[in-house]
Amino acid sequence: MPSRRGTTDPNLKYLELLSEKFPTTQSVFTEIINLEAILNLPKGTEHFVSDIHGEYEAFEHILNNCSGVIRERVQETFRLELTTDEQADLCTLIYYPEEKLRRLRRAGTATDEWYAITLMRLVRLARRLSGGYTRSKVRKAMPVEYAYIIDELLHISPDEREQRLAYHQRIIDTIIDTGSADDFIVSLSALIKRLAVDHMHVVGDIFDRGPHADRILDRLMAYHSIDVQWGNHDIVWMGAAAGSPVCLAAVIRNNVRYEALQILESAYGISLRELQSFAERTYCTDAGDGADGTSGTRDGMTPMEKAISVIMFKLEGQTIMRHPNWQMDDRLLLDKLDLSRGVAHVGDRDYELTTTDFPTLDPADPYALSSEESEVMDDLMYAVRASDHLRRHIDFLYEHGSAYLVCNDNLLFHACVPMNEDGTFCPVNHQGHMLAGREYYDYADRLARRAWHNHDQVSLDWMWYLWCGRYSPLSGRLVKTFERTYFVDKSTWEEPRDPYYSLTDDPEACRRVLGEFGLDPERGHIINGHTPVHASRGESPVRAGGHLVVIDGGFCQAYHAKTGIAGYTLIADPQGMRIKAHRPFGTIRDVLDLNTDIMSDDDRFEVTTQPITVGDTDTGAEIRSQVADLRALLDAYRTGELPERSV
């Protein structure tokens, strides 16, 4: 086979490599035609979610109904044929086909006639959704065992409509006759959900509060196309898994407080038995002497919560003292306790404590772990390292995640870009480097990855800083966990937020952030999670003239009473962008029993003058680059600069 292996022209070397995949002029222009056609397809629907916080059932339902997209497509397809109840019944079947089919069989409703009608309806819906994709992509999305049959059912041309319908009906009849109808319905339902959303963005905080982040991650790992922007609750788990004791102490304390210990013990096999035993023999139960010397239940903490809190604050103090450049000495509060008087002396004031139950605190060295505390943490760190299930989940977060993402004119990050009051980007000193804006985010991403691979002290400490540090871009506030745990005076609990949160109500500040990350300041959007939107107070998730969208998912049930809703998700489709405000979700059983759904209010805040195509997206830019390379290869073949290869 002729070659030009001696060439030193890098462009020609690249074309030689490309010619291995496209060896003839015919193969080249066939691919060019294919790619040019793809550019004119409608862009895929993107689904943005955030702050899932372990609420598996609500998240599972959001995935299954695609934030209401399935219900919308059913209404569009069958609005003149099916009643509202019949549409709801079809939606429930698509959301939970196996569970719904079991109920229908028990009720005697799943007759051959029902199967025939239902299968044809599902085929019609799948056909409608497949119109936005190439046949090749649709085939790849199909279950392998039924790919040929589904492909036949989805495609019909006007000139053969009657013949094709008879052919399709015969296929459906055979599926029913052979007892394959249930499997086929499950497969079609999976395909419909796959086609309804092309890609999902998770803008942080999968972990904590709710009990089933592990099940959510199992689900995400099986999702067809996804990226994750790390939230502060994700990064602290990542830090714990990477080997940071202070991050692990924070993880355990979070789950003790939210009574979600099953994720540690049952899901990840991290036994808390030694911690529990140590806590019960060391700390008071339902007690804590107040300043007046009387015994009472003033702190409201269990012995386990007391034990892990003290361990955490000691480890935090050690971490802060290793990094004076962080300027967090005001967070060193254990050495300010005067237990004989029941106060913390901070500055020139005394603050009354909720408890004086600190039996392991050494006044001479308040941030040193006792020997028993060290043994407890060593055992817990060993259990974390031994958890294969946790390692797989953290691997997934690193492989599919990042500190931020720039995609299709959108800038995605969980919390904030630290800013000064004057709107400039706040420089932060890390290891002698003054970092701000995008450079700061890039540094955060690099050091987080270094923690996972190298486990060095600096990068492990950095994971804790990202969790709750003064200028952490993943936190965005001055965290007052110590005061909230031990100080009676609630005025000390206030956690000042980064100026970013008030400044970005102004479109000009948003444009400055977008420009910093290389986006068009006029067309771009910032998409955040992290801060619940209080709809009951009149807050809007769409701010700064549409430049900023806050989509804290509000999945956490503890927030529903405060926010007035169950949070937001965002959808970007060929018609523009719309925010979905969700009402609280009941249970999956309610969906199956009553055909209930998460009801959503739709606000399309950005409408395009003409449908957005693949050519308008980042994928389109990549395709045009590929086409340019293929045209160069075609020219090389035609001019004889490269010979065509034998096929």
Q: Are residues 238 and 148 in the same domain?
A: no
Rounded to whole angstroms, the Cα distance separating 240 from 387 reads 12
| Assigned token pair, 423 | 């709107």
Q: What share of the chain is helix, strand, coil (3-state, %, to 5)?
A: 55, 10, 35
Integer distance in angstroms from the first to the last C-alpha of the chain? 10
Model confidence at 640: pLDDT above 50: yes
- Tell me the per-residue pLDDT of 107-149, one tens digit each, with 9 for 90 and over: 888 899 999 999 999 999 998 888 888 888 888 888 778 778 8
For residue 458, give the nearest of 431, 434, 432, 480 by alpha carbon: 431
Instruction: State residue 412's pLDDT score.
Output: 97
Quote the pLDDT of residue 424. Answer: 96
The per-residue pLDDT for 315 is: 98
DSSP state of 157: -
Q: What integer pLDDT is reported at residue 405 of this predicted model?
A: 97
Share of the chain above pLDDT 70, in %: 89
The single residue listed with the structure tokens 């898994």 is: 241
pLDDT for residue 141 = 82
Mean pLDDT lowest among 168-177, 222-231, 316-325, 431-440 = 168-177
The pLDDT of residue 63 is: 86
Of residues 153 and 376, the one with the higher pLDDT is 376
Q: Give the pLDDT score at 289.
A: 44
Model pLDDT, residue 292? 41
* 528 close to 405: Cβ distance less than 8 angstroms: no
- Least Cα distance to 92 among 242, 198, 193, 163 occurs for 193
Please report whether residue 373 resides in a domain: yes
Residue 559, pLDDT above cutoff 90: no
Higher-confidence position of 14 and 452: 452
Structural domain contains residue 531: no
Are 44 and 69 contacting, i.e. CB atoms less than 8 angstroms apart?
no
- Beta-carbon contacts of 465 under 8 Å, excluding residues fewer than 6 positions away, are 319, 323, 326, 472
Cβ atoms of residues 623 and 49 within 8 Å: no
Q: With residue 525 as reference, give the H or E element that holds it.
A: strand 525-528
Both 186 and 258 in one domain: the answer is no
Q: What is the pLDDT of residue 296?
A: 38
Residues 157 and 219 in one domain: no
Q: Which of 161, 199, 213, 203 is nearest to 57 (CA)?
A: 213
- The answer to whether residue 283 is domain-embedded is yes
Model confidence pLDDT, tens digit, residues 566-582 = 678 899 989 888 887 76
Q: Domain boundary residue among 199, 222, 237?
A: 199
Question: How does strand 343-346 pair with strand 199-202?
Answer: unpaired
Q: Tokens for 211?
A: 């009990």
Q: Which of 150-154, 232-236, 479-483 has the lowest mean pLDDT?
A: 150-154
**Which amino acid does the sequence have at 271?**
S
Please state the rounded mean pLDDT for residues 620-631.
93
638 within some domain: no
Contacts of 114 (CB under 8 A, 6+ apart): 104
Q: How confident is the model at residue 564 (pLDDT cuts 50, 70, 90)?
A: very low
286 in the same domain as 181: no
Same domain, 452 and 391: yes
Task: Grade residue 69 by pLDDT with cuts at 50, 70 and 90.
Answer: confident
Least confident of 77-81, 309-313, 385-389: 77-81
Q: Does 503 reside within a domain? A: no
Rounded to whole angstroms, what are the CA distances from 88 to 56, 155, 232? Answer: 22, 26, 38
For the chain, the average pLDDT equals 88
Q: Is the pLDDT of residue 3 over 50?
A: no
Given this model, what pLDDT does residue 1 score?
A: 40
DSSP string, 352-407: EBS----TT--TTSTTSPPHHHHHHHHHHHHHHHT-HHHHHHHHHHHHHEESEEEE
Pair 271, 332 in one domain: yes
Distance CA 584, CA 556 (A): 10
Same domain, 124 and 226: no
Does residue 179 share a domain with residue 217?
Answer: no
* Closest-CA residue to 551 (of 561, 541, 560, 543): 541
- Inform me whether the pLDDT recorded for 295 exceeds 50: no
pTM, entire model? 0.90
Over residues 275-284, mean pLDDT: 95
- Residue-number span of the structural domain to which 79 is assigned: 67-199
438 inside domain: yes
For residue 605, give the 3-state DSSP assignment: strand
Give the pLDDT confidence score for residue 366 in this predicted structure.
96
Residue 293: left (phi > 0), alpha (psi -120 to 50), or beta? left
Number of Cβ within 10 Å of residue 161's Cβ equals 10
Per the DSSP assignment, residues forming a β-bridge with 543 are 548
Same-domain check for residues 235 and 172: no
Between CA 469 and CA 475 the distance in angstroms is: 7
Length of the chain measured in residues: 647
Q: Where is the domain boundary, 147, 174, 199? A: 199
**Residue 295 maps to a domain:** yes
> Is the pLDDT score of 488 beyond 90?
yes
- Answer yes or no: do 240 and 188 share one domain: no
Q: Are residues 377 and 256 in the same domain?
A: yes
| CA separation, residue 282 to residues 23, 44, 384 (Å) | 75, 58, 24
C-beta pairs of 60-63 under 8 Å, 24+ apart in sequence: 60/219, 60/588, 61/95, 61/585, 61/588, 61/591, 61/597, 61/598, 62/553, 62/569, 62/582, 62/598, 63/193, 63/219, 63/223
How many folded domains does the chain comprise? Answer: 2
Asked whether residue 419 is domain-assigned, the answer is yes
Is the domain of 192 the same as that of 240?
no
Q: How confident is the model at residue 163 (pLDDT cuts 50, 70, 90)?
A: low
Q: Buried b / exposed e across 441-467, counting CB within 10 Å, b at 16+?
A: bebbeebbbbbbeeeeeebbbbbbbbb
Q: Could you read off the pLDDT of 325-375 as tens digits, one per residue?
A: 999 999 999 999 999 999 999 999 999 999 999 999 999 999 999 999 999
Q: Report the range out of 14-18, 314-318, 542-546, 604-608 with the highest average pLDDT.
A: 314-318
Say how far apart CA 57 and CA 609 lie, in whole Å: 37
Q: In this structure, what DSSP letter does residue 506 have?
A: S
Q: What percent of the chain has pLDDT over 90?
A: 61
H helix or E strand, kind and range, residue 542: strand 542-543
**Residue 473 pLDDT greater than 60, yes or no:** yes
Q: Give me the mean pLDDT over the 247-272 stretch.
A: 94
Cβ atoms 246, 295 nearer than 8 A: no
Domain boundary among 173, 199, 225: 199
